[in-house]
Structure 1
Amino acid sequence: MPADLDEKTDRYGEMLADALAAVEPTVPPDSPLGDAAAEILEMAESYLEDGRHFREVDDPVNALASFSYGYGWLDAGVRVGLFAVPDDGRAHLFTV
């Protein structure tokens, strides 16, 4: 049975918000990699805001796309080691 669009959109929005709250940069902020980590966080946060806006105007397709893109940016940053994943049960949020 396919997932309900509204349920999936809400789930991905919550997942992105939880993932943003969970990560910690692993690189110094004043290094080139620190700049990359900051840019990834900015992109993920922007996509979260965009998704919330689309949700408010009853556009779940674009909301889901925004949440998914934001999550992809953040997950890629975790995957390449720019962010640490906490060992408090939230590691399931990432593909490490």
Structure 2
Amino acid sequence: MLAKRATYSVSMMARVLEVSRSGFYRWLKAGGGGEDPWGPLKEAICAIWEKSDRRFGFRKVWAKLTGDPQYAEFAGTTRYRVRKCMVELGICGI
């Protein structure tokens, strides 16, 4: 809806998609359609996972993230966040 907002009215799109106008505006106010706040972390996780020939699970990926100076910006990341990001990305170790 956000992309077509200049072409079509919000009322018409809401009616066609069977959603409420107020729901669209609530989503928009909450920052809907914004960037993923965990995007850089997910990129780092994917890089580590790929370098391990797709073998590392979340514990080893987390250890690499928190122990390697290359990934110093993610030093405070919990292993549970790493696990959640890996699940969202659909990747796992063997």
| Larger-Rg structure | 2
TM-score by length of 2: 0.28
* Larger proportion of helix: 1
* Larger proportion of strand: 1
More relative contact order, 1 or 2 (CA 8 Å, 6+ apart): 1
